Structure formats: structure tokens, C-alpha cells
């Protein structure tokens, strides 16, 4: 059975806690639909007692994932490098009170039992491309229609009308 660490978010940040190690990709259930294969992810989680006036967590994740190219469906190697700063809040209403800024670090609700696996999985899911594809990849459906061709010309016969 795998050790699945949990942290008290605010205490971990205040005490400058630190966790690091390798985590098998097979242990991330939400990644299974997005990743073809991979062995493990290397992570480092560090408590930051004061960042922008709040306790925070700094999470780094590295590894190589095998994704499916969305054009040719072949294997696509994706090097992963995540460096996330997560500001800790006591409640959702505190997060909602902060003005929206696309450049600001993400805010999360700190609890006494925060699953490290979920923190890692969330950041990895945000870091992988939505529609991964090889650079310069062409599939069979990318064929160019010849000039002067009328690809929809036969649709009239389906309508049953004469023109």
C-alpha cells in the first residue's frame, strides 16, 4: 500500500514544511484519461510562511508524460515542468473577495487534511495541453481540397429537390 501524505495546510506553510519524492502516475486516477503512459512524477512541496501577505505552498512537479496526439493519435512525449504558488485561504468566501487577476497566484482553501496527491494531480491536469499534437503533424483528414472541387455538390440529391 502506498503512503499518501496529508498536510495541515496552514501549519505546513507556517513551519516551512517540506516534502519531496517520486509518485507513480498510476496512482493519479484523474490523469488516466489524459495520459497514455508514464512511470512517475517527481514532486517537491514546500511551505512558504508569507507570500503576498498570506501563507502559501510552492509545488514543483517534473516528469515525462506520454500523451495521445489529437491529430494522428500517435504517442506524443510531453516533458512536464510545474512550478505553482498556491496562496492559502480559510474559506471560499475569502478567495471570492480577492479581485480577479490573471497574473496572480492561485488561491485554495487550506484544511487540516489536505491530500498531497490531489494537489499534485490538480496542477498536472492544468499543465498538460488541452489538445496535444505533434509539431507539424498532418493527419489523413488534413487533405487539401482541389481547386474548383465542389465537396458539397452531391448534397442536393439528398434533399430530393431539383435545381
Per residue in 11-69, pLDDT (tens digit) is 999 999 999 999 999 899 998 878 877 778 999 999 998 888 899 999 999 999 988 88
Cα separation of 156 and 163, whole Å? 8
147 belongs to a structural domain: no
1 belongs to a structural domain: no
Using a 10 angstrom Cβ sphere, with 0-12 exposed, 13-18 middle and 19 or more buried, the burial of residue 113 is exposed
What is the tally of helices (H) and strands (E) in the chain?
A: 4, 7
Other Cβ atoms closer than 10 A to 22:
10
144 belongs to a structural domain: no
160 belongs to a structural domain: no
pLDDT band at 147 (very low <50, low <70, confident <90, very high): low
10 belongs to a structural domain: yes
Domain hosting residue 12, numbered range: 6-138
Adjacency order of strands within the sheet including 18-24: 18-24, 40-51, 54-68, 75-89, 106-109
56 belongs to a structural domain: yes
Query: Residue 1's pLDDT is what?
Result: 42
Total number of domains constituting the chain? 1
153 belongs to a structural domain: no
107 belongs to a structural domain: yes
This prediction has a pTM of 0.78
Cα separation of 70 and 129, whole Å? 10
Amino acid at each position: 500500500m502506498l503512503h499518501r501524505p496529508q498536510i495541515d495546510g496552514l501549519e505546513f506553510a507556517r513551519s516551512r514544511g517540506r516534502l519531496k519524492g517520486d509518485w507513480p502516475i498510476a496512482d493519479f486516477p484523474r490523469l488516466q484519461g489524459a495520459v497514455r503512459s508514464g512511470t512517475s512524477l517527481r514532486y517537491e512541496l514546500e511551505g512558504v510562511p508569507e507570500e503576498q501577505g498570506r501563507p502559501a505552498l510552492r509545488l514543483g512537479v517534473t516528469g515525462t508524460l506520454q500523451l495521445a496526439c489529437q491529430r494522428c493519435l500517435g504517442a506524443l512525449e510531453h516533458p512536464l515542468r510545474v512550478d505553482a504558488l498556491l496562496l492559502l485561504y480559510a474559506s471560499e468566501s475569502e478567495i471570492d473577495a480577492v479581485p480577479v487577476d490573471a497574473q496572480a497566484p492561485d488561491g485554495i482553501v487550506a484544511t487540516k487534511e489536505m491530500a498531497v496527491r490531489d494537489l499534485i494531480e490538480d496542477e498536472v491536469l492544468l499543465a498538460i495541453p488541452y489538445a496535444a499534437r505533434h509539431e507539424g503533424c498532418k493527419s489523413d483528414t488534413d487533405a487539401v481540397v482541389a481547386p474548383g472541387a465542389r465537396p458539397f455538390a452531391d448534397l442536393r440529391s439528398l434533399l430530393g429537390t431539383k435545381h
